[in-house]
Amino acid sequence: MDKHDAEKLRTMVHDTLTGTLRALETPSLLPRPEDRESLVKGFQKHIDALLRVRVNVILIIGGTLMPLFGILDALLFPSFFEKFMVYRIFAAILCWGLYLCNRQRCWPLPSFVLGTVAFYAIGLCIIAMIVDTGGTRTPYYAGLNLVFLSYCVVLPVSVKKLAIHSLLLYAGYVGAALGFDAHPALNTFVAHNLFILSTLSIILIAAHIDHRHRWRDYVLRHELAETQAKLELYSKKLESSVEETETKYRHLVENANDAIFICQEGRVRFPNPRTQTLLGLPLKEIEDRLLMEFVADDDQDALVELFEELELHPQAAPPLRTLRLQHPSGRTLWVDMNVVPMEWQQRPALLCIARDVTDKRQMEQELVQIQKLEAIGTLAGGIAHDFNNILQMIHGFLQILARRTSADHPDHMLLDKLFQTVNRGANLTRQLLIYGRKTDGKVASVDVNAAVVRVCEMLERVLPKTYRLNLRLESHLGRVLADANQLEQVVMNLVMNARDAMPDGGTITIETRQATVDEVMAQKLGMLRTGPAIQLSIADLGLGIPRAIQERIYEPFFTTKGPDKGTGLGLAIVYSVIKRFGGGITCESESGKGTRFDLYFPISSIATGDVMPDVEALPLVNLAGLRILLVDDEPHLLEIGQNLLESYGLEVATASNGESALELLEIMEQKPAGVILDLNMPGMGGARCLTEILRRYPNLPVIIATGYLDPHKREELLAKGAADFVEKPFRFERILQSLQRTRICPPPSHGLADVT
């Protein structure tokens, strides 16, 4: 668009503005016939909305003032007070009833009809009072005047409707006053009617003017909205034309967010400032250099193919290629390059537009890693229930064997090993759930040395013989508040990183010692607490971490390993866990000389004895004769549970699903003292069964025993009334302790040894 076209646009805008100003000065009340119908409909909607509000107002006024003016009855006509109050209360009740109807948007009658009904009701009540108090001589004509005033002034409808209803009510007043007055006082009656008619004429004229004004205002606002829309359209066109005609190409190029340059004879020409940012060199050093010097070796052939394709098909759509550029800092940048054939200084050239998409590609890779993490969590959550059920069966059979085997039996040690193996399997499931963020950690008082030893015992079995773990653990360290599983995960991640840093093997040193965190150190570590702490150090003699990237090692998904060797989550998880428990971490590393991580945890002020004991640590009571209902869909678990619980003297009834459990409870003459309920069952399931049991038998304790349950769902079920939650696999002593905990057992008088 040239300057001539821009001038034409300015003229059009000027003419439109002039027309708008004229419309504001002399608004048209007679729109075009094709527009009038839509305007009338829109105006009617506007009036209906306003009418609804105003009818509410007059109904509230009528319902309030009608009985309130009974004070005048007591002063002027005490003998009619009770009769008139009946009139007034009837009218008030009607007004409030119509008000409630008007508030219901689904009510079929329009608001004007409801207001008119109230108008006639109040008017007829006043006419009745006029007749009772003398007809032509009564002062109650003033009340009728107020009714006309409220009706005509408040309701924004056409004056024709107002006049018809007002005159009908007025005719009723005249007929009643003259017809029921045996000795009419005509002079007084004429005076009253002159006042009423004068007032009615004035308010009808005012209502007509108000209605015309509303119509004119609505038409004007409609025309103004259309004009404003046209002005906005013209304004956008004008801005576009001005930008196209007045903005220089050089200005556009220099302020572009993409790198823009011209490639002629293979050399960079006319680079913009963004090209300097992308290539990492001053513009003077970039210009006239070969473009291939900046392209990664593996992508140079792809760039040559792109240039050849453009040479063969110059009129084709500009292709978009993703290339890698070498930054002087050593980083590799990914760019989307768009190349367009052109002429530059009367010679063929290529216009190159390059956009840095390194962050985008990194985000895509991070998204893939997140999806992997989500897949791990989903897989862990999916198999946890079934896997823990299998472990529970093994654990249950082992408990049966253990109860049949004396402590001095030669196979008793093998049973202990099997119990430890089952517990390790359960712990592995819990670690997968924690890693996949499907469960929350349990904070407790933890012995750091014990956690390190447990991890090292496992790692010694999986690490190649070329690696050696050197433990230097200081005794009497104290304890820290943390989750033992997550603390072990931290140690495992750091040891695995140390292993990867020494591909040919070596020694990994793990040390613990007491330390003191002062204010300076706390600020450096980002710790909130100062004072005694436990220092856990893990060091290797491997490749080390370059100083240029040491500040980024805790970033999620940042890794120096290959795509098939690392996720970039190890150190991020380490950092997150340490911070969660109020600790800090430092890293000392040098290329070729190894790496040392120092972890600091504040020593817990809670002594070992101050920690709340777990339910397994409480002494068991005599449970002989206690009746229990066991509900599980696994036949083996029902058999094991019944066998073991009965061996403790309990009477056990079983059900394989929620429906059977409810039917069994229904026919039991003596209800059980508690229910042990699995959640994942066919049919109605455990959650619905729990709800139904608590609804029918609110005082019956229900203990949830399941392989896996989301923490939020667990809290929800406990809040609904579940007595306790036991996670599989468990020793059945844990169930007994839970029964004791729910206080359904008699007070403790004997230990477990007394139970037959």
Question: How many angstroms separate the CA atoms of 514 and 533, rounded?
Answer: 6
pLDDT of residue 509 exceeding 90, the answer is yes
CA dihedral 93, 99, 102, 106 (to 10 degrees): -70
Q: Cα separation of 571 and 567, whole Å? A: 10
How many Cβ atoms are within 10 Å of 621's Cβ, its own excluded? 21
Six-digit token pair at 642? 């019944």
pLDDT at 196 over 70: yes
630-660 tens-digit pLDDT: 888 888 878 777 777 777 778 888 888 888 8
Tell me which amino acid residue 620 is. Answer: L
Q: How large is the average pLDDT for residues 331-352?
A: 85
Task: Look at 344 and 601; give whichever has higher pLDDT.
Answer: 601
Task: State mean pLDDT over 341-348.
Answer: 84
Segment among 349-363, 536-550, 734-748 with least mean pLDDT = 734-748
Q: Could you give the percent of the chain with pLDDT greater than 90?
A: 4
CATH architecture of the domain formed by 252-356: 2-Layer Sandwich (3.30)
| Average pLDDT rounded to a whole number, residues 353-357 | 87
- Which residue, among 127, 124, 142, 123, has the nearest Cα to 177 in the 3D structure? 127
- Residue-wise pLDDT for 399-426, tens only, equals 777 777 776 777 767 777 777 777 666 6
List the domain boundaries for the chain.
50-225, 252-356, 442-610, 617-754
Q: How far are the Cα atoms of 441, 487, 597, 651 from residue 577, in angstroms, in the given order?
A: 10, 8, 15, 46
* Residue 494 CB contacts under 8 Å (≥ 6 apart), including other chains: 538, 570, 574, 597
Residue 6 and residue 14 in contact, taking contact as beta carbons nearer than 8 Å: no
pLDDT band at 511 (very low <50, low <70, confident <90, very high): very high
Percent of the chain residues topping a pLDDT of 70: 77
CB neighbours of 656 closer than 8 A, spacing ≥ 6?
631, 632, 633, 635, 638, 681
Give the mean model confidence (pLDDT) for residues 191-198.
82
Check residue 719 and give its pLDDT: 81
pLDDT score for 621:
58
Identify which has the larger pLDDT, 33 or 628. Answer: 628
Lowest mean pLDDT among 14-18, 245-249, 298-302, 480-484: 14-18
| First-to-final CA distance of the chain | 101
Residues 6+ apart with CB under 8 A from 343: 349
Q: Does 145 score more than 70 pLDDT?
A: yes
What is the mean pLDDT of the segment spanning 573-600? 85
- Is the domain defined by 617-754 classed in CATH 3.40.630.30? no
Confidence of residue 257 (pLDDT cuts 50, 70, 90): confident
pLDDT at 510: 93
Q: Calculate mean pLDDT across residues 582-602.
A: 88
Confidence of residue 440 (pLDDT cuts 50, 70, 90): low
DSSP character at residue 319: P
Determine the CATH number of domain 442-610: 3.30.565.10
pTM: 0.40
Mean local confidence (pLDDT), 722-743: 72
547-565: pLDDT as tens digits: 767 777 776 656 666 554 5
Whole-number pLDDT of residue 754: 33
